[in-house]
Amino acid sequence: MRDFSSDHSALALNTASLGHNLEGHGAGWEPERLIDACAARGFGSMVFWRREIGSRAIEIGERARAAGLSVAGLCRTPFLVGTDAVDRQTVIDGAKASVDMAAGLGAAVLTIVVGGVHPGTKGISESLKIVADRIGAISPYALERNVKLALEPLNPVYAGNRSCLATLRDAVDLCDVVAASNLGVAIDVYHVWWDRDLDSQLQRAGKDRIFGYHLCDWLADTRDVLLDRGMMGDGVADLKAIRASVEGAGYTGPCEVEVFSANNWWKRDPGEVLDVMVERFRALC
């Protein structure tokens, strides 16, 4: 297991941690200012969201690299299934546009959150079949542009309307079904911390299909399942044990801090938040 206590170059900022992505949250720092702030603190990489990038993908990617940072990823494709993703061609076109943005940015990985239960169906199995079909149509396009696609299973609490893909087991099953060389998974502490099947599914995924590892913490008394994530150390997730499993399966990539926290971290100065991330990462992760 890597030792981060004296080297945090594996640390990545997911810009969502600074509240950029919802009206009225965060300090509104532009990507350039965030890049400089991360570089100054020794972060190794960054992960952006589409809304921050707009038509400036190439420019922002180059700016990050000039500052010594890599772009670890882009969040994320629009939903592939669910009430807002009914028309197949619209979904595929939207996903391809996200692939183009990731390629322009030079992002290693494009994250996929698949969307909720598809209209007219019950349970998750039918929705997952539709997801498989749609990813099958997208993955060759991404492969040509050198973009990896990371399926991120979300906590089952979101299975109704955000991600019918609710476990790592189902994500690896989906990888097996689609069988594309650029399709893998991302593991997020928030979504998997409770799952005792995690270690065996990580082994099953293997190092060539683990494309990302996301850090935060699960607060015991979570007040809002979307916007009340904890900073590492403030919750009940066993961060060391989870990373041991992830690295035990061969992962050696960035550790990306993604804390959605409307009433705590998003209200603080971004510079302070980044400082805390570095400190917690070195001490606790």
The 184-223 contact track toward a copy of itself, x by CB under 8 A, reads ---------xxxxx--------------------xxxxx-
- The site for a copy of itself, by CB under 8 A, has a size of 38
Which of these, 124, 202, 135, 213, lies nearest to 169 by C-alpha position? 202
CB of 153 to a copy of itself, least distance (A): 10
Beta carbons within 8 Å of 41's beta carbon, 6+ residues apart: 274, 275, 278
Please pick, from the candidates 131, 151, 166, 262, the single residue that binds a copy of itself as defined by CB under 8 A: 166
Concatenated DSSP letters for 86-114?
--HHHHHHHHHHHHHHHHHHT-SEEEE--
Asked whether 137 and 92 are in contact (CB, 8 A), the reply is yes
Give the separation between CA 117 and CA 204, rounded to whole angstroms.
26
**Dihedral sign of CA atoms 30, 273, 157, 45 in order:** positive
CB of 71 to a copy of itself, least distance (A): 31
Give the separation between CA 256 and CA 141, rounded to whole angstroms.
26
239 makes contact with a copy of itself (CB under 8 A): yes
252 makes contact with a copy of itself (CB under 8 A): no
Write the single-letter amino acid at 97.
Answer: A
170 makes contact with a copy of itself (CB under 8 A): yes
CB of 157 to a copy of itself, least distance (A): 4
In the region spanning residues 123 to 162, those forming contacts with a copy of itself, defined by CB under 8 A, are 123-125, 155-157, 159-161
The 35-64 contact track toward a copy of itself, x by CB under 8 A, reads ------------------------------
Give the separation between CA 274 and CA 270, rounded to whole angstroms.
6
Residue ranges that bind a copy of itself, judged by CB under 8 A: 83, 116-117, 121-125, 155-157, 159-161, 164, 166-167, 169-170, 173, 193-197, 218-222, 225, 235-239, 241-242
